[in-house]
Chains A and B, each alone.
Chain A
Amino acid sequence: SQKIEQNSEALNIQEGKTATLTCNYTNYSPAYLQWYRQDPGRGPVFLLLIRENEKEKRKERLKVTFDTTLKQSLFHITASQPADSATYLCALGLGGGKLIFGQGTELSVKP
Chain B
Amino acid sequence: DTAVSQTPKYLVTQMGNDKSIKCEQNLGHDTMYWYKQDSKKFLKIMFSYNNKELIINETVPNRFSPKSPDKAHLNLHINSLELGDSAVYFCASSPSGQGNTEAFFGQGTRLTVV
Contacts and interface: CB of A to CB of B under 8 A. Distances in A.
Interface of A: 30-32, 34, 41-46, 49, 51, 87, 89, 93-101, 103-104
Contact of A101 (B44, B102, B106): B44
B29 to A, nearest CB: 11
Range of interface residues on B (Cβ < 8 Å): 20 to 34
Given A42-B108, A104-B41, A96 B48 contact: yes
Nearest to A87: B41
A41 B41 CA distance: 11
Interface in B36-64: 40-45, 48, 50, 55-56
A97 B41 contact: no
Interface of B: 4, 31, 33, 40-45, 48, 50, 55-56, 90, 92, 94, 96-108
A43 B105 CA distance: 5
A99 B90 contact: no
B100 A32 contact: yes
A46 B42 CA distance: 16
A89 B43 contact: yes
Contact of B90 (A32, A43, A93, A97): A43
